[in-house]
Structure 1
Amino acid sequence: MILDSHSQKKSLGVLVHPTSLPGGSYCGTFGNGLKNWINLLSDNKIFTWQFLPLTPTDNLGSPYSSPSSFALNPWFLDVNELKSNGYIEDSIQLEEIRLNGLNINTINFQIADNLSKLIGDMLLRNWDSQKSSTKKEFFIWLENNKWVNDFSIFTVLKEEFNLMPWWAWPQEFREKEQSKLDLWSKENENKLLIKKLIQWHLHRQWLEIKKFAKNRDVKLIGDIPFYISRDSVDVWSNKSLFSISKSGDLIYQSGVPPDYFSSNGQLWGTPVYEWSEHIRTEFYWWIERFKRQFELVDIVRLDHFRALAGYWRVDGKAKNAIDGKWLKSPGKELLESLRKHLDLKDLPIIAEDLGVITDDVNKLRNDFNLPGMKILQFAFDGDKENPYLPQNIKDDNCVVYTGTHDNSTTISWWANLDEKLKEKIINKYKFSNNPAWNLIELGMQTNSKLFVAPIQDILSLDDSSRINKPGTTSYNWTWKYSKPLNKIEPYLRHFGSLGESYYRTNIL
């Protein structure tokens, strides 16, 4: 994807995950709340919305460690749409949950799960009374989405075995013995149907959101983690594609080597890919994965893009990432295959190329005209050649951010800066009394064709609103905007107006 370098105008976007937006009982859902959000963006000439993976989360709420790279998160089911279209009936329980949700200012994972289970039971209870045309549409969707069956089996088995990882299941299920699974599936037909119905309704509701966004000229930017959780249906169903034994033991795992910030490197615990098998299967799994994403969004950010050029492989039993090895990935072949099967000249992919990036990574990104990322919070280390300094961003085929979901908000970032460094920045860039908006304006002034700011920076919030702090496991992924959506409108109006003054009203 080339962000058009011949247009005078540039583009503007906001980064916020649907869970953080008002609209549902406990978090944002695929309903009118998101349509109102899209209207706010479009009305203020903000034509790009970026969010995190829409997949189910792990038990800590992380969408980057999902049990499926194809499924959607059940928390997003919109109850009002289901009721108004007769898929479920109203109930006292639903109303109690709605009222309780109004009093909770953060996302409670357990309650969100319980609500999803209640909705699933109601969908099953009302299934027999649905119109034949509805059932036909559902079964056609199942036929065209083969991943749903394995996902449903995997999630019901997880529940049956008390959420234990799949490698701790009885052998016949761990090793996916088809005759045993067929018999078990017949015995658990209703439980499996619930999972399938939930995914169909999520898919249906989200496509309505996507259609609405298209009509309002708002482009959707999704997100794909590079590696897949070991405890996922992807790995369980496709063991040969991952560096994992039949019993589930890691043979080789992913990570990054030691650097200035970490003497032991980072060990991620996800299996690396068996690239020879991906080549043999002509990247079928990757192609299906990207096809699914482009069904849901317009553009995808690929996390840890550098691993498409080369990756750090560590022994599966290692306790740190010190003794790893750099190995080459077939990134060029994969991207060429994607381009061919998706029938696209330019792939609508943003390459997350942050950190220490080598020439082979830059070459791969440039060969496929993929925009990279620039983070302004990383710019001010005293190095005049720092590639994130606004004046050093020469290539317009990139996306500039104040920060991302992994960074402090700009207000807290600024509060923790050395006072002498603050003084230098103030003198150089004429900062005033609001560092978040100062950095936002710097981003708008850059040469990049797309500038994106997290909603927390637009609202000038501190780290109490931060959605993720890497390296920690508590209090992440829980923040939501607890006021009515119309309270955001003045900030978006100012954001869009400022963008207009810097010619950032283009539609990607």
Structure 2
Amino acid sequence: MKQAHIFDNRRTGVLLHITSLPSGNLGADAYRFIDFLQQAGVTVWQMLPLGPTHEDGSPYQCLSAHAGNNKLLCIDSIKAKPWCRNEDLAGKKVFTIVVNAYKQFVEHATEADWTAFNEFCQLQAFWLEDYVLYREIRNLNHAMPWFEWPEPLRDRQPAALKELAEQRTESLTIRRFEQFLFFQQWQNLKTYANQHQIKLFGDMPIFVAHDSADVWAAPELFTLDATGQATKVTGVPPDYFSATGQRWGNPLYDWQAHIKEDFSWWLKRLATQLDLFDLIRIDHFRGFEACWEIPASCETAMEGEWGKAPGEALFKKLVSEFGELPLVAEDLGIITAEVTALREQFAMPGMKILQFAFGGDADNPYLPHKHCNDSITYTGTHDNNTSLGWYDEIDEATRQHLHQYIGPSEEAMPWLLIRVALKSVSQLAVIPMQDLLELGGEHRMNVPGTMEGNWKWQFEWTMLPEGCAEKLRQLNQIYGRIIYE
């Protein structure tokens, strides 16, 4: 199978989530960032999942695999709508602002506006109706997870859902309207990005959160008991980094149920992501070959076992539906030959992290001389320290190996590592924004295994070093990563 066309050219990407923009939303800063990328000769903007998050803010545990996070909405963009006659959209919470905006929409929207809203609701009904019900019920039950709701609502008894829908008609419509606004703002941004030769690179976690509209709407597709509790959960086995492994807690897929429905749930999920993005990373790709299955009663991952997954059958179905798959496999960690074979069968590039490359021997697969064309080279990801922070923390032997490998250079970190990424044979090289800003470890996005302080980092335009775009463009020119379209 041939790789997706997006990999026909050498490209550079920058990793920055929407929440890390100065405003943290889909407004003016997002458009300014696209202008910066174009000036720098960058043609890929990578970000994290866009879904509505739980209270911890992690974009990898979302309330929906389809919906957009309303906290990313730009209020100024709403105010600029012709139907928005009152610039003071009162409310401290985003949903309250959306309520006020909806009231103005009702009063002043044109027939064309209503047609667009109704068409959106009809087109997205396959996930939207479950989602708005889920969010409304969850709100009425003080944010309790769905498996702790009153039994009629937990079990989706038709009479109970019908009664609630009749009682909460306007509130449900407002929740649909909120998603309508999000997808409008997103598509406007994507159009602007594509017009400026920027491809949007998204992220799709392999698993979905237990407390999500997706699991509530289709519990038969997951490893749950009759009360909605998980019987098996996800994680990874004990390894060098953790003696007890990692217990993530997401319910596993009942793969036989997915096979029985001919993977229709996956077809719908990927269709949404392909509408949002030009390129998609699949987090924990190895789980499509085999998952680490942990009994839900176990507090750690130690008692889990490998359970096979029908990855080949699934991806064959996806290819038959969508043709080429613009997908990237997150294949970090201990990867078996079977996982690599699955990735290569469907022509998905893997990932190479330079922060993992140094301090060992010449066989380290992350060293640049071990890279291959069908890979993406990163200085680091959202789960890593910044390159400067990493360099400050590594031991002297690792630091010496880095400099011996690269050879004599007067270039300082992190640009030293950025240059290594850009000169790689990988078709795509991705640099976290923190590295372009030359920031230390206090600016990292996430520290895996910790619960506090993650997902909150934001930059300011004043942090941008003078001449950064020109410097990056020059490197892109030198290493053949400028795209002329």
1:239 aligns to what?
219
- Give the 5 Å matches for 1:350-369: 350-369=328-347
- 2:292 is the alignment partner of 1:315: no
2:360 aligns to what?
382
Q: What is the distance in 1 between the residues matched to 2:444 and 2:435?
A: 10
1:55 aligns to what?
51
- 2:449 is the alignment partner of 1:448: no
Cα displacement (A) at 1:258:
0.8
Q: What is the distance in 1 between the residues matched to 2:89 and 2:105?
A: 19
Q: What is the distance in 1 between the residues matched to 2:124 and 2:462?
A: 37
Q: What is the distance in 2 between the residues matched to 1:484 and 1:413?
A: 23
1:106 aligns to what?
none
Question: When the two structures are superposed, what TM-score results if normalisation uses the length of structure 2?
Answer: 0.95
2:111 aligns to what?
132
- Give the 5 Å matches for 1:294-443: 294-342=274-322, 344=323, 346-393=324-371, 395-429=372-406, 430-432=408-410, 434-443=412-421
Q: What is the distance in 2 between the residues matched to 1:85 and 1:276?
A: 47
> Which residue identity is paired with 1:503?
G
Q: Identify unmatched segments of 5+ residues in structure 2.
A: none
Q: Secondary structure at the match of 1:435?
A: coil
User: Which 10-residue stretch deviates more, 488-497 or 330-339?
Assistant: 488-497
Cα displacement (A) at 1:484:
5.3
Task: Check 1:145–1:472 CA distance in 2 against 1; reply closer, same or farther (3 A cut).
Answer: same
- Give the 5 Å matches for 1:135-146: 135-146=114-125
Cα displacement (A) at 1:171:
0.5
User: Which 10-residue stretch deviates more, 41-50 or 263-272?
Assistant: 41-50
Q: What is the distance in 1 between the residues matched to 2:484 and 2:390?
A: 30
Task: Check 1:5–1:240 CA distance in 2 against 1; reply closer, same or farther (3 A cut).
Answer: closer
Cα displacement (A) at 1:488:
6.1
- 2:479 is the alignment partner of 1:502: yes
> Which residue identity is paired with 1:421?
T
Q: What is the distance in 2 between the residues matched to 1:392 and 1:53?
A: 30
Q: Secondary structure at the match of 2:106?
A: coil
> Which residue identity is paired with 1:408?
N
- 2:170 is the alignment partner of 1:169: no
Q: Is the contact between residue 124 and residue 193 of structure 1 (CA under 8 Å) also seen in structure 2? A: no
Q: Is the contact between residue 123 and residue 197 of structure 1 (CA under 8 Å) also seen in structure 2? A: no
Deviation sequence 1:31-52 (CA, Å, 0-9, x none) = 2321221122112211111000
Aligned residues: 481
Q: What is the distance in 1 between the residues matched to 2:424 and 2:325?
A: 24
Cα displacement (A) at 1:260:
1.4
Q: 1:153 aligns with which of 121, 128, 133?
A: 133
- 2:458 is the alignment partner of 1:462: no
- Give the 5 Å matches for 1:220-299: 220-299=200-279
Cα displacement (A) at 1:3:
6.4
Cα displacement (A) at 1:6:
9.9
Deviation sequence 1:73-96 (CA, Å, 0-9, x none) = 1011111221111343445565xx
Q: What is the distance in 2 between the residues matched to 1:34 and 1:6?
A: 24
Cα displacement (A) at 1:132:
2.0
Deviation sequence 1:367-422 (CA, Å, 0-9, x none) = 111100000000013121000001111x2011000000000000110011112321
Q: Secondary structure at the match of 1:49?
A: strand
Q: Identify unmatched segments of 5+ residues in structure 1.
A: 98-113
Q: Secondary structure at the match of 1:477?
A: coil
Q: What is the distance in 1 between the residues matched to 2:76 and 2:35?
A: 19
Q: 2:68 aligns with which of 63, 72, 83?
A: 72
1:101 aligns to what?
none
Task: Check 1:302–1:234 CA distance in 2 against 1; reply closer, same or farther (3 A cut).
Answer: same
Deviation sequence 1:168-214 (CA, Å, 0-9, x none) = 11001110111111111111112111111110010011111111111
> Which residue identity is paired with 2:221?
L
> Which residue identity is paired with 1:441?
R
Shift >6 Å, 4+ stretches: 3-7
Cα displacement (A) at 1:446:
1.1
Q: What is the distance in 1 between the residues matched to 2:288 and 2:482?
A: 33
Cα displacement (A) at 1:445:
1.4
Task: Check 1:35–1:417 CA distance in 2 against 1; reply closer, same or farther (3 A cut).
Answer: same
Q: What is the distance in 1 between the residues matched to 2:88 and 2:119?
A: 33
Question: When the two structures are superposed, what TM-score results if normalisation uses the length of structure 1?
Answer: 0.91
2:457 aligns to what?
479
